[in-house]
Amino acid sequence: MSDRTTIAADPHWLPHALDLAGGRMQFVRIGRDVLTSPGFLADIKPEEAEESAWLTLDEVRAMQPETGALHFIFHTAFCRSTLLVRALNIEGVSVGMAEPGILAQLGGAGEAAKNLIKPVCDLLSRPWGDGEAVFVKPTNHANMLIPALLAARPDATAVLMTNPLGSFLRSVDKRALMGRRWGRQLYLEMMGYAGMDLGMDGREQFSMTDLQAAGLAWFLSQRLFAMLLSGSDSERLRVLDGDRFDLNRADAVEAVLELAGLSFDPRAVETVVDGPIFRRHAKIGGDFGGDEAVFAPAFEQECEQVQQWLEMIAQQARIEIPARHTLF
């Protein structure tokens, strides 16, 4: 069993799971290769990690780790954010973490875990190599934490990553029943912490199609981003269009590093962009063959109708959708 001092001193020990009822937090120790492996850090099974350990929450709050630079990739889902954070694993410059599970759990715990946000951010920021910064991409289900995460680390920059509605809805549809269920669940979640009066009663909301509900979830995410961009943290925020990232990969990675104030060799970025990370699926592994799905005319028609509907809502709300690309 590793003690608090050992865990605090080693960035390979990641805060992983929260047990509020038991007053403790779980840590798992991983190798650097896990950061570029397919899947999310949240999916690591403790028994498959190099080591795991539980510490009391008092021990976590008392830790004084050697912190480093920490930056964030926030996103609206299905916009290549996982691919971006994988590409930010550049030896001697930075490491990228895809969806540490602890952040989703902090978001779900609400006020009860508020005093753990800064300690967790400090633990995640520990440099993996001399002078290396850390980029963390939380799950979009933790977006309610964005203001708190930015407040905990006033030195952090953040990329707000999104994509056009059509790209988002096609990703939802490709996942069939589970994708459409996910879209409805995301709508309910967004209404819980970033909702607005849409002028619909319960019966009208229930009557929405799956794509309408998913589209509204996407819209509410855009509205959240718009509020962030008009707030006091706007100077350290930039918007990245995921489709544009796919077309200008090296430019996007370099712009993220420049926003964070990091020095880098463009050749190192080219090596990553031309390497295996961009040739395999960031979430499930295997060869990445691109988007070859064929969508039925009925889907395309509904997608267009949802787009028109949301544009009317956005006009009334006086926000631009999607959020305008500003990173480069």
| Per-residue tokens: 34 | 């896990």
In a domain, 152, yes or no: yes
Residues 294-321 have pLDDT tens digits of 889 999 999 999 999 999 999 999 999 9
pLDDT at position 279 is 80
In a domain, 270, yes or no: yes
CB atoms within 10 A of CB 66: 11
Q: How far apart are CA 100 and CA 102, in angstroms?
A: 6
Residues 119-172 have pLDDT tens digits of 999 999 999 999 999 999 999 999 999 999 999 999 999 999 999 999 999 999
For residue 238, the domain's CATH number is 3.40.50
Total number of domains constituting the chain: 1
Q: Which of 37-51, 66-80, 207-221, 270-284 comes out lowest in average pLDDT?
A: 270-284
pLDDT at position 317 is 95
In a domain, 176, yes or no: no
Residues 181-218 have pLDDT tens digits of 999 999 999 999 999 999 999 999 999 999 999 999 99
In a domain, 313, yes or no: no
pLDDT at position 2 is 72
In a domain, 242, yes or no: yes
Residues 89-100 have pLDDT tens digits of 999 999 999 999
* Residue ranges making up the domain that contains 250: 4-164+225-290
In a domain, 146, yes or no: yes
In a domain, 285, yes or no: yes
